[in-house]
């Protein structure tokens, strides 16, 4: 996962002072040396590191910390606040034009994830903001790019405007906006041409598109895995075009995180979205304070809740609660739950959002294996409806049949049946505890 090395080192360093009743200037100095190294190793721009350390040091040896009752915790708070500030402070939201359509120009070098992000952004605008964007294919130099956008449009059930590869991108962009006006789209997202490197031709063309479309947003898509290169690319694009924001892709990979931590400070352009995977729902608004908390192992419960809200059906959740209470939870419910949790993303990413999860050794070694979940799913799907509802009827010969049907071993079927029984017992205990609480007059 992204930021892993940095998160580990910062958390270890801060752990040493966290509980201290007294923090001396010398403690702060030692700590800052470690923080500095951790940031440099995470490929954060050296000037940014220097400024960051100076700020934290100044605050950490000031009255705010040394004279407080809990100096150890105050130091952590200062680091958290400064990390947040480094990444832009407040969340930078996507623009909304006073008069629709809002025009978004997507720019970037080839391979950064521009076309994919165009599709993801359209999906986000529809899902989260109930908007209906028009996608415009203006990348005429890579013929596959138009097809790629058309395919994304089909997957999303959204219209894509293109004029093939023989019309100039400037003309395509202009006509795309006219079309969006005619058809009352509230957003137009223009996928412009990428190049392998920044060159004058590219910048001229983008400047012309900017001139003619007068966009509300120019979003640069950069690949987080390229570290400081991403920062340099951002700087060049910003100097020549004036960016309004950055989409940082591939943060689901094991990038060290340097780009995320440097881009805002170096280029004064905020990261607005992060790409967390190849799928069309793997785009998240970037929240600096949540990212800082995640890096410092303080969890990101808010993002977790938001994920759950988009992926878990509330009515179903209520039904489930009822089933748990009345002990009528079956393998069918289990399968449904499994599918819902999996729709939230890779499990280790979800676990990473829990406070303190990074510090828990058990979790670290627990590689949540998607394959294993596939096996569980296969086993449950090989059960008959009756078996799913009444697993106690599953005798030896049925077990053999289920094992065969799912391509797993009888031992695995046994293990799952046992886990399911244990889970039901646990639910029973939990619901008894709940009842006890209610009786105790907690005003439930």
Which residues fall in the annotated binding site? 108-115, 191-195, 249-252
Stretch that binds ligand GDP, among 244-252, 298-306, 322-330, 350-358 (CB under 6 A): 244-252
Q: CA 173, CA 155: separation in Å to the nearest integer?
A: 22
Contact 120, 283 (CB under 8 A): yes
Residue 39 Cβ, how far from ligand GDP at the closest point, in Å?
A: 23
- The smaller minimum CB distance to ligand GDP, of residues 87 and 152, is found at 152
Stretch that binds ligand GDP, among 13-21, 246-254, 323-331, 399-407 (CB under 6 A): 246-254
The residues near 435 (Cβ < 8 Å, ≥ 6 apart) are none
- The smaller minimum CB distance to ligand GDP, of residues 255 and 265, is found at 255
- The smaller minimum CB distance to ligand GDP, of residues 113 and 159, is found at 113
252 touches ligand GDP by CB under 6 A: yes
Hey, what's the torsion of the CAs at 138, 142, 147, 148, to 10 degrees?
-90
383 closest CA partner among 371, 400, 368, 369 = 400
CB burial of residue 44 (10 Å; 0-12, 13-18, 19+)? buried
253 touches ligand GDP by CB under 6 A: yes
Binding map of ligand GDP across residues 197-226, x = CB under 6 A, - = no contact = ------------------------x-----
Residue nearest to ligand GDP (CB): 275
285 touches ligand GDP by CB under 6 A: no
User: How far apart, in Å, are the Cα atoms of 378 and each of 274, 367, 375, 412?
Assistant: 33, 20, 5, 11
Instruction: Select from 13, 115, 255, 267 the one that contacts ligand GDP (CB under 6 A).
Output: 115
414 touches ligand GDP by CB under 6 A: no
- Helices and strands: H and E segment counts in the chain: 21, 8
Q: CA 71, CA 79: separation in Å to the nearest integer?
A: 12
Hey, what's the torsion of the CAs at 114, 118, 119, 123, to 10 degrees?
140
192 touches ligand GDP by CB under 6 A: no
Instruction: Select from 36, 59, 114, 238 the one that contacts ligand GDP (CB under 6 A).
Output: 114
The full DSSP string for 324-375 is HHTT---HHHHHHHHHHHHHT--HHHHHTTSTTGGG-HHHHH----HHHHHH
226 closest CA partner among 198, 260, 201 = 260
Q: CA 146, CA 149: separation in Å to the nearest integer?
A: 5
245 touches ligand GDP by CB under 6 A: no
284 touches ligand GDP by CB under 6 A: no
Stretch that binds ligand GDP, among 249-257, 339-347, 357-365, 399-407 (CB under 6 A): 249-257
Instruction: Select from 89, 111, 143, 164 the one that contacts ligand GDP (CB under 6 A).
Output: 111
169 touches ligand GDP by CB under 6 A: no
Residue 119 Cβ, how far from ligand GDP at the closest point, in Å?
A: 8
Residue 234 Cβ, how far from ligand GDP at the closest point, in Å?
A: 14
Three-state SS at 419: helix
Q: Considering only residues 263 through 282, tell me which ones interact with ligand GDP, judged by CB under 6 A.
A: 275-278, 282
Q: CA 52, CA 82: separation in Å to the nearest integer?
A: 7
74 closest CA partner among 11, 18, 24, 35 = 18
Q: CA 226, CA 256: separation in Å to the nearest integer?
A: 10
257 touches ligand GDP by CB under 6 A: no
- The smaller minimum CB distance to ligand GDP, of residues 117 and 406, is found at 117
Instruction: Select from 6, 112, 243, 263 the one that contacts ligand GDP (CB under 6 A).
Output: 112
Q: Which residues bind ligand GDP (CB under 6 A)?
A: 108, 110-116, 194, 221, 249-250, 252-253, 275-278, 282
């Amino acid at each position: 996962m992204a930021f892993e090395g940095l998160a580990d080192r910062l958390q270890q360093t801060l752990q040493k002072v966290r509980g201290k009743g007294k923090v001396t200037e010398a403690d702060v100095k030692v700590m800052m040396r470690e923080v500095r190294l951790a940031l440099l190793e995470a490929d954060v721009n050296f000037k940014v590191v220097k400024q960051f350390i100076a700020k934290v040091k100044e605050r950490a040896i000031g009255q705010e910390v040394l004279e407080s009752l809990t100096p150890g915790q105050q130091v952590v708070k200062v680091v958290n606040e400064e990390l947040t500030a480094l990444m832009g402070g407040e969340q930078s939201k996507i623009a909304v034009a006073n008069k629709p359509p809002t025009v978004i120009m997507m720019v970037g070098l080839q391979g950064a994830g521009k076309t994919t992000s165009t599709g993801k952004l359209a999906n986000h605008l529809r899902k989260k903001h109930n908007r209906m964007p028009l996608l415009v294919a203006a990348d005429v130099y890579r013929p596959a790019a138009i097809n790629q956008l058309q395919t994304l449009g089909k997957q999303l059930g959204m219209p894509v405007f293109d004029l093939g590869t023989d019309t100039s991108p400037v003309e395509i962009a202009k006509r795309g906006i006219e079309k969006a006006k005619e058809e009352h789209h509230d957003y137009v997202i223009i996928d412009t041409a990428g190049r392998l490197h920044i060159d004058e031709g590219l910048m001229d063309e983008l400047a012309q598109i900017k001139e003619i479309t007068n966009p509300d947003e120019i979003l640069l898509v950069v690949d987080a895995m390229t570290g400081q290169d991403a920062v340099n690319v951002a700087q060049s694009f910003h100097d020549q075009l004036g960016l309004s924001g950055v989409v940082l892709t591939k943060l689901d990979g094991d990038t060290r995180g340097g780009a995320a931590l440097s881009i805002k400070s170096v280029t004064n352009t905020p990261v607005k979205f992060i790409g967390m995977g190849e799928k069309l729902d793997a785009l998240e608004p970037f929240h600096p304070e949540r990212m800082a908390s995640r890096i410092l192992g303080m969890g990101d419960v808010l993002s977790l809740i938001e994920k759950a809200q988009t992926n878990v059906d509330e009515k179903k959740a209520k039904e489930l609660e009822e089933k748990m209470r009345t002990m009528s939870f079956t393998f069918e419910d289990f399968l449904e739950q499994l599918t819902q949790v999996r729709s939230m993303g890779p499990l280790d990413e979800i676990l990473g959002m829990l406070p303190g999860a990074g510090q828990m050794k058990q979790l670290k070694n627990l590689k949540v294996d998607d394959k294993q979940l596939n096996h569980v799913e296969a086993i449950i799907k090989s059960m008959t409806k009756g078996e799913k509802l009444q697993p106690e009827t599953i005798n030896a010969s049925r077990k053999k049949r289920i094992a065969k049907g799912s391509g797993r071993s009888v031992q695995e079927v046994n293990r799952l049946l046992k886990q399911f029984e244990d889970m039901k017992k646990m639910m029973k205990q939990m619901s008894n505890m709940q009842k006890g609480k209610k009786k105790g007059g907690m005003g439930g």
